[in-house]
Amino acid sequence: MKKAIMIIAAMLTLFGGRAMAQRCLPGMSAVEVKANMTDGFYTGKSRECGYDLGVFYYVFTGNHGNTWSIGGEYLQTFKPYGEKGRIPVAQFTGEAGYNFHILSDYSMTFHLYGGISALAGYETVNWGKDVLSDGSTLHDSDNFIYGGALNLQAEFYLSDKIALTANVKGRFTFGSDVQIYHTTYGVGVKFIIE
């Protein structure tokens, strides 16, 4: 019993005064660069999948680590056509949202967020070309799109200034002639600005 008390006392002495990282404080901000897969696993030969690239700016609010976010994304998907062909569909969107801090570990190294956002932008089908390579006419057209997104994001801090992120997002884009819903998942790097 004495040994257990001595060990606990030694641990409290060693770790009791240790300062935890100052992360996710109100007023702090961050910039994140993301690279995602869209609607499956993309390779250069994939006929239906795509990819998504984005840059976002975050501002931490309140005492709970919640954040406001604003950013932009470029989403590229492909639709199969004929035996081996595919038609490119690209979306350029701006997005603003709120992310709720769900949980974190004691050392503030790991954080999990759930968020909701609104988005709007422009979608182009086959880069605006109505006639396909075989002479067929494409009836889907370029459109302004709008909608929203739900996301789940995990952050792993490497230092007080850099975090690796992993995310999954469901995007609803109304106004599209091609596809309303997209699922994206991928990784990113977040740089903390004070």
Residue 110 to residue 123: CA distance in whole angstroms: 36
Q: Is position 14 within any domain?
A: no
Listed ranges 9-18, 78-87, 144-153, 172-181; the one with the highest mean pLDDT: 144-153
Q: Is position 21 within any domain?
A: no
Q: Is position 11 within any domain?
A: no
pLDDT at 19: 42
Which tokens belong to 136? Answer: 């067929």
Which residues lie across from 35 on neighbouring strands? 53, 187
Residue 62 to residue 136: CA distance in whole angstroms: 56
Q: How confident is the model at residue 20 (pLDDT cuts 50, 70, 90)?
A: very low
Q: Is position 20 within any domain?
A: no
Residue 185 to residue 38: CA distance in whole angstroms: 7
Count structural domains, the chain. 1
Residue 69 to residue 31: CA distance in whole angstroms: 9
Structural domain boundaries, residue 179? 27-193
Q: How confident is the model at residue 6 (pLDDT cuts 50, 70, 90)?
A: low
Place of tokens 């740089």: 191
Q: Is position 113 within any domain?
A: yes
CA atoms 98, 105, 64, 158: torsion sign: negative
**Average pLDDT of span 74-99:** 88
| DSSP codes, 132-187 | -TTSPBP----EEEEEEEEEEEEEEESSSSEEEEEEEEEEEEET-SS-SEEEEEEE
CB 63 within 8 A of CB 95: no
pLDDT at 113: 95
Q: Residue 58's domain is classified under what CATH number?
A: 2.40.160.20
- pLDDT tens for 120-143 read 999 998 887 777 777 677 777 789
In degrees, rounded to 5, the angle at the alpha carbon of residue 24 between the alpha carbons of residues 22 and 26 is 100
Q: Is position 10 within any domain?
A: no
pLDDT at 154: 96
Q: How confident is the model at residue 16 (pLDDT cuts 50, 70, 90)?
A: very low
The better pLDDT of the pair 150, 179 is held by 150
DSSP 8-state secondary structure symbol assigned to residue 126: G
**Average pLDDT of span 132-158:** 86
pLDDT at 144: 96
Q: Is position 1 within any domain?
A: no
Q: Is position 15 within any domain?
A: no
